[in-house]
Amino acid sequence: MSILSKLFGGKPKPAAEPTLHNDYRIFPDPAQAQGGFQVQARIEKDIDGETKTHQMIRADKCQSMEEASETALLKAKMLIDQQGDSIFR
């Protein structure tokens, strides 16, 4: 293990399998925060041969990581349905 990984929390998180929604890949990524877990997700889509990425961060907090992941997935799907590719601008 490198000195940097020891300083910054050990092993990196394993890459989770994305949930697909209308050609978008959603990676729920809740962050531990005061009072629970903050709802966050990475949204990706390949456009013209390039992978575009949007980091979705919401003020919502949940009591468990699982609940925060489920909420992030639902909110990411709503964001995609409402805004489409404009989230990458």
Domain boundaries, the chain: 17-84
| pTM of the full structure | 0.81
Q: Residue for token digits 């300083």? A: 7
Q: Residue for token digits 């877990």? A: 37
Taking only the tens place, the pLDDT of each residue in 29-71 is: 999 999 899 999 999 999 999 999 999 999 999 999 999 999 9
pLDDT in the model for residue 6: 46
CA–CA distance, 87 with 61 (Å, rounded to integer): 22
Q: Which residues contact 57 (CB under 8 A, 6 or more apart)?
A: 38, 39, 40
Contact present, 80 and 48 (Cβ < 8 Å): no
CATH of 17-84, picked from 3.40.190.10, 3.30.160.350, 3.40.50.300, 3.40.50.10860, is 3.30.160.350
Q: Residue for token digits 């809740």? A: 30
Mean pLDDT of 79-84: 98
